[in-house]
A and B are shown apart, each in its own frame.
Chain A
Amino acid sequence: MRVTKSWIAEYAALPAGLSGRELGEALVRAGLEVERVEAVGGDVTGPLVIGRVVDFVEEPQKNGKTIRWCHVDVGAELAPDAAPGPLRGETVERIGSPGGGYWPRGVICGALNFAPGDHVVVALPGTTLPDPTQPGGFTIGSRRTYGHLSDGMICAEDELGLGEDHSGIIVLGDIDAAGEPWVLGAPALDAMGVADEVLDMPITSDMGHCLSVRGLAREASQSLGVAFTDVIAHPTPAASEGGYPVRLESDACPLFVALTVEGFDPAAPSPSWLRQRLAACGMRSISLSVDISNYVMLETGQPNHCYDADALAGPLVVRRARGGETLVTLDGVTRRLDDEDLLITDETGPIGLAGVMGGETTELRDATTRIVIEAAHFDPISIARTSRRHRLVSEASKRFERHVDAGAAYSAARRVAELLVELGGGELVAETVAGSVPAMPTQTLAANLPERILGMPVSADQVVAILTASGVRVAGVDEPVADGGEAAPGASLTVTPPTWRSDLVDPFDYVEEVGIKVGYDRIPSVVPTAPAGRGLTREQHLRRAVTRAVATSGFVEVLTFPWVGQADADALGLLADDRRRRGVRLANPLADTAPVLRTTILPGLFGALARNASRGIDDVALFEAGRVFFSAGDEPTPLPGVSGRPSESDLAAIEATLPEQPRHLAAVVAGDWLPAGWDGPAQPAGWRQAFGLAELVATTVGAELTRAPASVMPWHPGRCAELVVSGTVVGHAGELHPSVIKAFDLPARTAALELDLDLLLSLAGEPGSVAAVSTHPVVKEDVALVVEESVGAASLESALVAGGGTLLESVRLFDVYTGDPVPAGKKSVAFALRFRAPDRTLTDAEVAQARAAAVAEAARAWGAELRA
């Protein structure tokens, strides 16, 4: 909502000299937000002054246009040094005493709506005027045009940003804003009294009453402690049928006021004060009647509508739409109506979408002299639904949705009628009031509730005083109140909000009202004492530990967007039945190319990797930990009521119908892990880092991880390991498939890992007991085993461990060899074994026996032969 300070000042007795910013601060204290405070005409800088047209000649041009070559008096101080070109003949007369005085200014003007002697607004050279087409505006200079030196510009309203009128230049009245004769050369905006400030305020949905000058003036006056005058001066009369006939057929319209004005002059123009005020508040001037309608809406908050009485047929009936009716609204759109839409109708059918927008057939025409003014009250929810259904948000619907003061309808209609009569002639001839102002809900409020909730002393008397000042009717101060079944100390108040405060419903709404009016700055600051906490959960600890371990190991964490498209699944080479194709689809995705929530983090990481590469960063190791989403089907999620805890079955159904959304950890690595340096060649990044990272993560969470060959996209089938913990596959790691590298335009040999972190954590064991450290000597033995090349190193190691028994302390693979003398198709794998007993020094015989047992198991399980 944009509103001028001067308008608010009409109804709130603002202290003299209060700036727009200070007014804004007062409104902020009242719970409003002020986005900007702008000066009206603030875009004008430089010498914009009052002038008087001395004389002019009209000079027709070849293009058919006529211009006026004018001499303008801008006072002695701003007079030019030299005489302007003459109007007629050869000489120019000085202004003022003969022999003394000063020269007038020569100005070319394209407008024809002024006469010699008129007072006008002159932009002298050096004045900068607003220009929507160029930031910073444009600056007036002396320039030669139409054969004369034009030494300034006579301004129209739109050129100053005061309105939209460009039909002619501004011709000022006889006296200035202060009622004094014009002073030539005086700063024009001040002298005209248009210097003003505009406050731009987003209004939250509970502050519907502040979508009006009236509401803002009330809040400002309360906040500043100054007098308030209510523009809504007339109480709503009892229902009457003296004017245009009206019938209410829906509960959604409890009140409808229809006033008839006759003898209106449709040609009467909008006066400049009206146009300028609307322009400052961001509204275009259309015609006098529309301008008045908008003006009264801004002022009172009551949307209203003017019908051409001669275009109406029969009574105005407010009812719901039925059976596929249609309506052409004022914006020219044909609307197919829903049975829930609330309508204004006459005998011809729908003539308006109630509270949202009027229809074309009954709008005012150039010849309209009889007007029916509508000001009605509509149910906010009905209006909100219609507005949403037709994707039609109007100034009216915005207000009705947020609740309009039903008590304002009659008075606002009267204000429209009075302005029509005042500015356009005619008279108010008849009025109809259908229905009545609905009663506001009465509520019981414990007088000490504000104190209990705000956490500061607020006496019952203070509560009563504040609420009364806000228009709340307070009664029953001395009755004891039942609270939680017990008689509470203190009084109970029976409170009824004024008709404009639909936001005051619950006791806590009144607490807020009291809190705001007392001032939030007076609330003390007290840290509450929580019960003894348990710290982070095991999972939270481990997830943090994983993130830090992975980062410390050399990977950089990134946070990518979770939306992907079909193209990503295809580029990953996922099979048709791959679970990762069963993503959760969005109904209103940000981009049609990415309508699905990720089932794998990898495409996001690939994008980040490619972006780094495109910025010249080639050696990249990235990771992200976040949720992925697997559809659980289309079964609707329950929407239980809100009056109490949902049933356990509803809660269970909520969980069951939500997608599965486990946290994954994914990483990609490309380029060089460590670049070539003074101490050695580059260590290229690849599957080693992916495997190493898997081991690191498993170690960090205390899981025993094994790797087994796997063939899963998007990985290279010969260079992919499934990551297994306790017999469960928790993820995969390895080099990416060349086709995937190509599809995502990644560096060759890019490697990746992705694992289900939640699953991994669920499988990770407890930390266990600390080790008993044996101080007896170690015996080291190496063995080289010859096996088929297909036998995995880990399998062989497992066999040695199984066979070696308890004396085998550790096994470490230290060499893999193929070639002579190892037969073709076989490899030699060498292990360093360490034997130790917890309680004694091992004998040679014991070691030899254990070593032989280890080798024997390797031989039994994998056909290993001890290499000679």
Chain B
Amino acid sequence: MSGPNDQYDPKQVSALSEESLAATVADALGAFAAASDSASLKAARLAHTGDRSPIALANREIGALPPAARKDAGRRMGAARGQINAALAARAEEIEAAELEEALTREAIDVTLPVALAPQGAIHPITGLMDLMGDVFVAMGWEIAEGPEVEAEWMNFDALNLHPDHPARAETDTLFVEPASAHRVLRTHTSPVQIRALLNRELPVYVVCPGKVFRSDEFDATHVPAFHQIEGLVVDKGITLAHLKGTLDHLAQAMFGDVTTRFRPNYFPFTEPSAEMDLECFVCHGASVGNPDAPCRTCRSEGWIEWGGCGVVNPRVLRAAGVDADVYSGFAFGMGIERTLMFRNNAEDMRDMVEGDVRFSRSLKGESR
């Protein structure tokens, strides 16, 4: 090694010569290019840029040069090292990219393998439909009212203008709580919730009452003894039958799309005037009527589907709930959720709705029923 005060002898520092440095650079670049993966590149890096590498050794010689020569040699050394480092970085990037590419290919999976975060749960179609129908009214500013399922006879019948001798009361297949003389029943409709709404809420009242109701009915494809209804009640100043029609038209469209509705006179003790609301069959649009060659299962070839009962609240009902019937008027309506599901989602056998077979509950698609 040369001392600083030695006489400048170019031979002693031949490693710093232009030719020599070029060769060193060429060796390094060759080695890098020859490296095929990150391991061999690491070895080439250590060999050509490490402490004992030719370029590092050449660099040490700079100190031995006379001051006049150092500047030149330093510039040459810098350029050489720059070349080596750039080549190393470029090659490293190439190898990394190639290795990543190889890894991505190697790690590919069968994306069609079955996976499950959890078993397939479901809400019951009746629950989903009841919520959906309730939401139509909540969106209009109405509220959802609820009440007990074992109900006072007074709430279920008397307050609704169904006095004890009323033929319609005897015709209702009521399940009575024992002893029957204690005047408690399983509610036969959600109408008692309307009475409760009138008793407990400030006027005006705009509520819907979805819930479970009970009848001592047959249990077959079209009857179940426990089923669901949604009823609506509006009591306000100036309410008319036209408002009832508008509300039900809106509900029908929300539930079934663009359907034609019809009001047909009917009788209910709690409403007067009363009507049955029919939907024009959205499957056959009446084409099946009197046409045995093209029967329609949805409307039983009647052209219309009976959807629910409705009417102007009988002032006797308002009075029983303490509402001034001279100032307020109202309308009420009710329909079966099961029936609605049958029309809307082609449910054919009501027994499926209560038997708890998971295939039924899971059958509707998506969260929004």
Residues of A within 8 A of B (CB): 21, 28-31, 33, 204-207, 380-381, 384-385, 388, 401-402, 452-456, 483-484, 506-509, 511-512, 515-516, 520-521, 523-537, 540, 544, 547-548, 550-562, 584-590, 597, 604-605, 607-609, 611-612, 615, 617, 619-622, 626-627, 629, 634-640, 642-646, 651, 654, 657-659, 661, 673-674, 677-679
Contact = CB atoms under 8 A, between A and B. Distances in A.
Given A508-B273, A644-B319, A551 B123 contact: yes
A621 B118 CA distance: 11
Nearest to B138: A535
A28 B234 contact: no
B241 A453 contact: yes
Contacts of B361: 556-558
A205 B154 contact: no
Contacts of A679: 113, 115
Nearest to A669: B119
Interface string B173-200: 0011111111110100000000000010
A454 B315 contact: no
Given A30-B265, A508-B272, A508-B273, A557 B116 contact: no
B357 A615 contact: yes
Which 10 pairs show the lowest CB-CB distances between chains A and B? A645-B322, A608-B356, A455-B242, A455-B240, A31-B265, A512-B273, A558-B356, A554-B118, A533-B141, A530-B141
Contacts of A551: 121-123
26 contacts: A204-B168, A381-B165, A511-B312, A520-B241, A520-B275, A523-B263, A524-B245, A525-B246, A526-B242, A527-B140, A528-B206, A528-B234, A556-B361, A556-B362, A559-B124, A559-B126, A588-B180, A617-B358, A621-B119, A621-B121, A634-B179, A638-B154, A645-B320, A645-B322, A658-B150, A679-B113
B209 interface: no
Contacts of A548: 123, 367
Contacts of B76: none
B176 A586 contact: yes
B329 interface: yes
B167 A401 contact: yes
A643 B320 contact: yes
Given A388-B170, A621-B121, A454 B354 contact: no
A729 B187 CA distance: 30
Given A525-B249, A584-B150, A658-B152, A531 B226 contact: no
B121 A639 contact: no
B72 interface: no
Nearest to B356: A608
A753 B361 CA distance: 20
Nearest to B116: A674
A677 B114 CA distance: 8
B262 interface: yes
A520 B264 contact: yes
B213 to A, nearest CB: 12
B171 interface: yes
Contact of A627 (B144, B149, B152): B149
Contacts of B123: 547-548, 551, 557
A728 B150 CA distance: 26
A619 B161 contact: no
A536 B138 contact: yes
B243 interface: yes
Given A534-B143, A584-B177, A645-B322, A611 B356 contact: yes
Contact of A645 (B152, B273, B321): B321
A214 B160 CA distance: 31
Nearest to B119: A554
B124 A611 contact: no
Contacts of B367: 548
Interface in B289-342: 290, 312, 314-316, 319-322, 326-327, 329
Nearest to B355: A611
Contacts, number: 307
Contacts of A585: 177-178
Contacts of A626: 212
Nearest to A552: B121
Contacts of B155: 654
Contacts of B179: 587, 634
A206 B270 CA distance: 12
B140 A637 contact: no
Given A544-B131, A634-B179, A561 B141 contact: no
A173 B272 CA distance: 52
A858 to B, nearest CB: 34
A843 B178 CA distance: 72
A484 B326 contact: yes
A514 to B, nearest CB: 9
B263 A521 contact: yes
B241 A454 contact: yes
Contacts of A654: 152, 154-155
B113 A678 contact: yes
A547 B123 CA distance: 7
Contact of B267 (A205, A525, A617, A661): A205
B319 A512 contact: no
B122 A588 contact: no
B142 A533 contact: yes
Contacts of B319: 642-644
B152 A533 contact: no
Given A644-B319, A644-B322, A554 B242 contact: no
A204 B276 CA distance: 12
A512 B272 contact: yes
B280 interface: no
Contacts of B181: 636
Contacts of B240: 452-455, 526
Given A204-B267, A642-B319, A515 B241 contact: yes
B247 A673 contact: no
A205 B167 contact: yes
B216 A508 contact: no
Contacts of B124: 557-559
A493 to B, nearest CB: 17
A380 B315 CA distance: 23
A586 B175 contact: yes
Contacts of A516: 265, 273
Contacts of A584: 150, 177-178
Contacts of B315: 506-508
A523 B206 contact: no
Interface in B233-273: 234, 236, 238-243, 245-247, 249-250, 262-267, 272-273
Given A540-B144, A586-B176, A658 B121 contact: no
B151 interface: yes
Given A531-B204, A550-B121, A645-B321, 8 more contacts: A31-B266, A381-B165, A530-B206, A531-B206, A590-B219, A604-B356, A612-B358, A654-B152
Contacts of A205: 166-168, 171, 267
Given A642-B159, A674-B116, A527 B246 contact: yes
Contacts of A507: 315
A17 B226 CA distance: 46
A622 B356 contact: yes
B5 interface: no
Contacts of A207: 267
B320 to A, nearest CB: 4
Contact of A553 (B121, B241, B242, B264): B121
A605 B155 CA distance: 31
Contact of B138 (A33, A533, A561, A642): A533
A634 B140 CA distance: 42
B359 interface: yes
Contacts of A644: 319-320, 322
Interface string B106-141: 000000011110111111101100010000001011
B37 interface: no
B225 interface: yes
Contacts of A554: 118-121
B29 interface: no
Contact of A659 (B150, B183, B322, B327): B150
